[in-house]
Amino acid sequence: MKIAVCINHVPDTETKIKVGADNVNIDKTGVNYMLSPYDEFAVEEALRIREKFTGDVTVLSLGGDAHKETLRKALAMGVEKAVLLKDDSVRDSNGVAKALAEELRQMSPDVILFGKQSIDYDNAQVGTLVAEMLGLPSVAVVVKLDIQEGKVVCDREIEGGHEIVETKLPAVFLAQKGLNEPRYPSLKGIMAAKSKPIEEKPAAPAEVQVQTIHLKKPPAKGSGKILSTDDSAVSELIRLLREEAKVI
Amino acid sequence: MPKFQGVDYYDIDSLLSEEELLVRNTVREFVDENVIPIIEKHNRAGTFPMELVGKMAALGLFGSTLPAQYGCAEMNNVAYGLVMQELERGDSSVRSFASVQSALVMYPIFRYGSETQKDHWLPKLAKGEKIGCFGLTEPDYGSDPGGMITRAVETSDGYILNGAKMWITNGTLADVAVIWAKLDGVVHGFLVEKGTKGFSAPEMKGKHSLRASVTSELILEDVYIPKKNRLPGGSGLKLPLSCLSQARYGIAWGTVGAAMGCYETALNYAKTRIQFDKPIAAFQLIQMRLVHMVTEITKAQLLCLQLGRLKDAGKVRFQQISMAKRNNAYHALEIAREARSILGANGILDEYPVMRHSANLESVMTYEGTHEMHTLIVGEDITGIPAYT
Ligand SMILES: Cc1cc2nc3c(=O)[nH]c(=O)nc-3n(C[C@H](O)[C@H](O)[C@H](O)COP(=O)(O)OP(=O)(O)OC[C@H]3O[C@@H](n4cnc5c(N)ncnc54)[C@H](O)[C@@H]3O)c2cc1C
C-alpha cells in the first residue's frame, strides 16, 4: 500500500498571534510552530494503515525551510519519506492544492490523507481540491476509516450525527479529531529520522486567485464582572441579562 | 491544562539541534498530557504513578544515551538533559524515577557489567519491564559513603551480603538493586534481585517531599547471590561516584524544569491577580522577583547547555557537574519559594504546582550530594585543598 499524507506547519494553538506591520501577514517573531493537529491524525492513520497492510508512507509539505521541522516530526513518528515542495510565498488554497496535486499525480498513491483543515487559515479546502484535481473520490471529516477487500468504509461526522460512506481506492481522506490517538515520536524514532532524507523540490507554480488584503484580530474581550458570591447574585444576574445584555 | 510554552529569554533554543528540539518538545507534550493531569493525586496519596512507566519506556526515556543494541535511543547528553528538564517540570519524583533507572541502574550495568548482565538487564530496563534501584546511602553514612558498613563475603560460588541501605529511590518497586558493598575493604557493585532470600525493601513513610516517589530501606540479612551477580568491571568508591556524576548531570537540567514551571505559574498569576486595583505584576517589588527568577533560569539553562556540550565532547569533569547541580538545585528551590510567596495564600494549595515543587526541591538539594558537598568539591578543585574533614 502506497500512502501519502499532506501536512502543514502552523502556529502552535497556544501561541499568541500578532498581526504584522503590513496588516496582511502575522508577525512570526516568538511564534512556536507545530504539525497541524488534524494533519497529525492523518499521519497516525497512515502509519496504522501501513502497519496493517505493509507498504510505505510519504509525507508532503508545501512551504519554506521551516516546514522541515514538521516533516522531521512525521519522520520521527515512523513515516518513511518526506518531500518538501519549496515555496516561500503565501499561496491561496488553490495554489497549495495545485502544487500538491502535481506531485501526487506522479506518486500515484493508493491512499491520500489530509487533515480536514489546517488550523492556520482554516479554509478546509485543500484536501477536497486535490481530490478534484486528481479526479479521485474524497471523504471529508473522517472519524473511522476501514480499508476492506475492494472497498473502503468510512464513518464521517455530519451536523448532529454520523454518515457511513463507502468508496474505492485510490481515494482522498480528510481526518477529523477522533479518528485515532496520535503516537508520540519515540526518542529512537527521532534518532532514526536523522538519517531519513527530506527530498526538496520546487513547488509547481500557481497564480494567486484569492489574495489576503487585511488581517485583523477580534475585538478584545471585555473584563468579566463578579456580582457577589452569595445567592443575592442570582436576581441581579437575571436583571442584568434582561436589561443590559437583553438576552432573556 | 494549557500547553507549556517554555521559558527562553536568551533564544537558547537556537543553540539546540533539530533533534534536540524535537526530543524536548515531545517530552514537553508528554508531560503536559500525561504527568501534570495526574501528579497531584499521586502526590497527595504518596504513591508513585506506575501507569507512567510503560508510557515513558515506549517513548524511550530510560537509558536514552545508551547504545541501540540494548533497545536504547543512543541520544546525546544534551537531549538527555532536556528530557530530564521536561520530566521535572512535571514533578521531581517522575524525573527521579527516570534518573535512577537510567543513570544509577542502567549506566553502572552498561559501564561495569559483564556482557551477560548487559544483555540480560539493559533491554528489560529500557522497556520498563524491570525496575531498578541504587543502594549506596546507609543510615550512618550519607555524605561520606566511603564509610559504608554493608559487607560482602566471598563463598565458594558467590557472595553473602549483610547490611542496610536507606533513602533508596524506587527500592520497594525495584526488581533489581545495584548494591554497593565492601568486599575485603574495597567497594564493589552487586546485583540483588527482588525476592532473594534475606533481602527486603520496606518503604519509608512520612515524607513531606518527593511524595510521588517511593523511597525505601534495603535490608540485607545473609543474602546469598551467585558470582555472576557482581559487577566485574571495576572496584572502589569511584564506581558509584561515576554513576552519581551521570545522575547529577541530569539533576542539573531537571531542576531547571521545576524552576520554569514555578516561574511560569508565578508570572501568569501576577499578571491576573488584582490588588489595589492593579495586577500585582505592576508592582516593582513583584517585578523584581520575577526578573530575578527569569535571570536565574536563564543562567542555569546556559550552565546546563555548555555542560552538556562538554559531556558530549567527552571533556566534562565531575567538578563541573557539581557546580551545575549545586547552582541549579539551589536556585530552583529559591525560585519555587519565591513563586509560592507571589501566589500568596493560593501558593500553598495543590491547585498550583509551586508548593509541590518547592517541597520536592528540598530533597533535590540534599540527594546526589548535598549543596555543601558540592561546594567542597568545587572548593577543592579551585584551591587544591580538600576541606571535607
Ligand atoms: C528523597 C531521597 C531519595 C534518595 N535516593 C537515594 C538513592 O536512590 N540511593 C542512595 O544511595 N541514596 C539516596 N538518597 C540519599 C542521599 O543521597 C543522602 O541523603 C545524601 O547523600 C546526604 O546524606 P545524609 O542524608 O546522610 O546527610 P548527612 O551526610 O548526614 O549530612 C547532613 C548535613 O551535614 C552536611 N555535611 C555533611 N558533611 C559535611 C562536611 N564535611 N562539611 C560540611 N557540611 C557537611 C550536609 O551537607 C548536610 O547539610 C536519597 C535521599 C532522599 C532525601
Rounded Cα distance between A38 and A126, Å, is 13
Please give the pLDDT value at position B1.
57
**Contact at CB, A190 and B74, closer than 8 angstroms:** no
For the whole model, what pTM was predicted?
Answer: 0.92
Residue located via cell numbers 473502503: A152
Rounded Cα distance between B348 and B356, Å, is 9
Percent of chain A clearing pLDDT 90 (strictly above): 73
Find the helix or strand (DSSP H, E) in which A102 lies.
helix A93-107
CA B325 / ligand 1 centre spacing (Å):
14
A146 forms beta bridges with A153
Please give the pLDDT value at position A247.
87
Q: Does the pLDDT of residue B162 top 90, yes or no?
A: yes
Rounded Cα distance between B343 and A153, Å, is 54
Average predicted confidence (pLDDT) for chain B: 97
Closest CA–CA distance from residue A181 to any residue of chain B (Å) = 12
Q: In chain B, where are the structural domains located? A: 12-126, 132-229, 238-383
Q: Ligand 1: which residue has its CA nearest to atom 14? A: B167
Burial of residue A2, with CB atoms counted within 10 A of its CB: 0-12 exposed, 13-18 middle, 19 or more buried: middle
Output the CA–CA distances (angstroms, integers) from residue B97 to A48, B56, B176, in the order listed: 31, 10, 14
Q: Does the pLDDT of residue A233 top 90, yes or no?
A: no
The second-level CATH assignment, the architecture, of B12-126 is Orthogonal Bundle (1.10)
Output the CA–CA distances (angstroms, integers) from residue A9 to A6, A118, B133, in the order listed: 10, 9, 42
Comparing alpha-carbon positions, the chain A residue that sits nearest to B79 is: A187
CA B137 / ligand 1 centre spacing (Å):
8
Rounded Cα distance between A57 and B116, Å, is 38
- Least confident range from A25-34, A130-139, A223-232, B220-229: namely A223-232
Q: What is the pLDDT of residues B283-318, one digit of tens each?
A: 999 999 999 999 999 999 999 999 999 999 999 999
The number of beta carbons lying within 10 Å of the beta carbon of residue A162 is: 11
Q: Does the pLDDT of residue A112 top 80, yes or no?
A: yes
Q: What is the pLDDT of residues B311-343, one digit of tens each?
A: 999 999 999 999 999 999 999 999 999 999 999
Burial of residue B378, with CB atoms counted within 10 A of its CB: 0-12 exposed, 13-18 middle, 19 or more buried: middle
Return the best residue to mutate from B367, B374, B389 for the ligand 1 pocket (most ligand atoms within 8 A of CB).
B367
Q: Does the pLDDT of residue B61 top 90, yes or no?
A: yes
DSSP A108-135: --SEEEEESS-TTT----HHHHHHHHHT
Q: Does the pLDDT of residue A223 top 80, yes or no?
A: no
DSSP B253-281: HHHHHHHHHHHHHHHHHHHH-EETTEEGG
**Contact at CB, A186 and B73, closer than 8 angstroms:** yes
Output the CA–CA distances (angstroms, integers) from residue B140 to B145, B147, B150, B189, B365, in the order listed: 9, 8, 11, 19, 19
Closest CA–CA distance from residue A168 to any residue of chain B (Å) = 35
Q: Which residues of B participate in catalysis according to the annotation?
A: 368
Q: Is the peptide bond before A170 cis (omega within 30 degrees of 0)?
A: yes
| Confidence category of residue A16, pLDDT binned at 50, 70, 90 | confident
Please give the pLDDT value at position A221.
80
Rounded Cα distance between A202 and A103, Å, is 10
Q: Is residue A33 within 8 Å of A39, Cβ to Cβ? A: no
Q: Which residues of B touch A191 (CB under 8 A)?
A: 19, 68, 73-75
Superfamily per CATH, domain B132-229: Butyryl-CoA Dehydrogenase, subunit A, domain 2 (2.40.110.10)
Looking at residue B230, what DSSP letter applies?
B
Please give the pLDDT value at position B141.
97
Amino acid at A28: K
Domains of chain A: 2-202 (3.40.50.620)
| Confidence category of residue A232, pLDDT binned at 50, 70, 90 | confident
Please give the pLDDT value at position A167.
97
**Contact at CB, A69 and B59, closer than 8 angstroms:** no
What are the pocket residues of ligand 1 if the criterion is a CB atom closer than 6 Å to any ligand atom?
A: B 100, 134-137, 142-143, 167-169, 210, 215, 363, 366-368, 370, 372-373, 376, 388
Rounded Cα distance between B61 and B80, Å, is 8
| Confidence category of residue B5, pLDDT binned at 50, 70, 90 | confident
Q: What is the pLDDT of residues A138-183, one digit of tens each?
A: 999 999 999 998 899 999 999 999 999 999 999 999 999 999 999 9
Q: Does the pLDDT of residue B3 top 90, yes or no?
A: no
Identify which of B308, B161, B156 has the alpha carbon closest to the alpha carbon of residue B246.
B308
Count how many residues are written for chain A.
248
Specify the CATH number of the domain B238-383.
1.20.140.10
Identify which of A64, A13, A65, A59 has the alpha carbon closest to the alpha carbon of residue A34.
A13
Q: What is the pLDDT of residues B335-369, one digit of tens each?
A: 999 999 999 999 999 999 999 999 999 999 999 99
A141 CB-near residues (< 8 Å, 6+ apart): A116, A156, A157, A158, A174, A176
**Contact at CB, B21 and A184, closer than 8 angstroms:** no
